[in-house]
Structure 1
Amino acid sequence: MKRLLAFATLIPTLALADYGSATVSEVVAIYDGDTFTANVEGWPPVIGERIKIRVAGINAPERRSRCDTEADKAREKTLAADARVYVVERLRDAERIELRQIKRGSFFRLIADVYVDGESLGDQLIAAGLAIPYAEGQGGKAWCGHAPQHPVSR
């Protein structure tokens, strides 16, 4: 019983563990402003190929809005499309994409600070008004009624 209890307390700790850093060898797909799929250089294919990566520390607008009003849904979907285009442009033109402070998130995806040619992608998205800092408990409605504070610059 003690072993089971020790193991049960270890699992949440492992989920929060920092797995270091890695380099993306290929971006496979970009879902939205804070989630993309990539191949990770030097990792075994079973975990390093076509792995979903979420940008840590930000909340970008969702393509599948959960806002209550049609106006808010339309605004969030438009912002989500803008955020996706922004990320496509940044990652497509990148010479180096680094994942730092990697953690395991839900749905077998990685959560990491993403750096594009040495600059934080999360900070760039926030500065462009296409993401807000992540706050625990925001839920899926963080962008409902929220307008960008900065103009989108490309």
Structure 2
Amino acid sequence: MKRVLLPLFGILLLAGCAAGPQTRNKPYPDVKVSRLLKVIDGDTFRCDIDEHSAIAGKNISIRLRGINTPELRSRNKEERRSAQLEKQRLSDLLHNARVIELRNIGRDKYFRIDADVYIDGEPLLPKLNRQYLTRGK
């Protein structure tokens, strides 16, 4: 039994190593958004991606990587006001974009889809309120 399992384990180990670094570090390809459906808040929106099947690419929620805006459902009135402003800012930028791209797609610690978002070839993050950026913190 050991004579069979040991070589089999070795083959499986080598097969896993044969996958290039691109496969392990970038499991999802970059995509273009086909339709912007709804801006949920200042760091999340819903869209369709026709490149994917209906089960994976219709009405999907995308969270912008690198920013965390105030919550619309906060008990704090000032925070809710700020949240509404950030939602409007994101909405204006996305609705005025000709092309919305999702790059470096992954999952965050809550298993939500998150991505670096580009509009018309430029990163979206620098166009948002720097106060809420999370990179480098």
Mapped to 2, the partners of 1:26 and 1:80 lie a distance apart of 24
Q: Which residue of 2 aligns with 1:93?
A: 96
Which amino acid in 2 is paired with 1:133? T
Within the candidate set 113, 120, 138, 2:123 is matched to 120
Partner secondary structure for residue 61 of structure 1: coil
Greater RCO structure (CA 8 Å; 6+ sep): 1
Which amino acid in 2 is paired with 1:80? A
Instruction: Confirm or deny: 8 A CA contact 1:51 1:109 kept in the other structure.
Output: no
Q: Which residue of 1 aligns with 2:70?
A: 61
> How far did 1:134 drift?
5.0
Mapped to 2, the partners of 1:54 and 1:78 lie a distance apart of 20
| Structure 2: runs of 5 or more not aligned | 1-24
The answer to which of 80-89 and 105-114 deviates more is 105-114
TM-score (norm 1): 0.65
Greater C-alpha radius of gyration: 2
Q: Which residue of 2 aligns with 1:9?
A: none
CA 1:60–1:107 in structure 2 vs 1: closer, same or farther (change >3 Å)? same
Mapped to 1, the partners of 2:86 and 2:65 lie a distance apart of 15
Note if 1:133 corresponds to 2:134.
yes
What is the CA deviation profile of residues 51-95 of structure 1, one whole-angstrom value per residue up to 9, with x for unaligned ones? 0000001111111226xxxxxx11111111011111111111110
Partner secondary structure for residue 115 of structure 2: strand
Note if 1:25 corresponds to 2:34.
yes
> How far did 1:49 drift?
0.3
CA RMSD of aligned residues (A): 2.3
Identity of aligned residues (%): 36
Which amino acid in 2 is paired with 1:75? E
> How far did 1:107 drift?
6.5
Instruction: Confirm or deny: 8 A CA contact 2:43 2:69 kept in the other structure.
Output: yes
TM-score (norm 2): 0.73
| Structure 1: runs of 5 or more not aligned | 1-15, 67-72, 137-154
Q: How many residues align?
A: 114
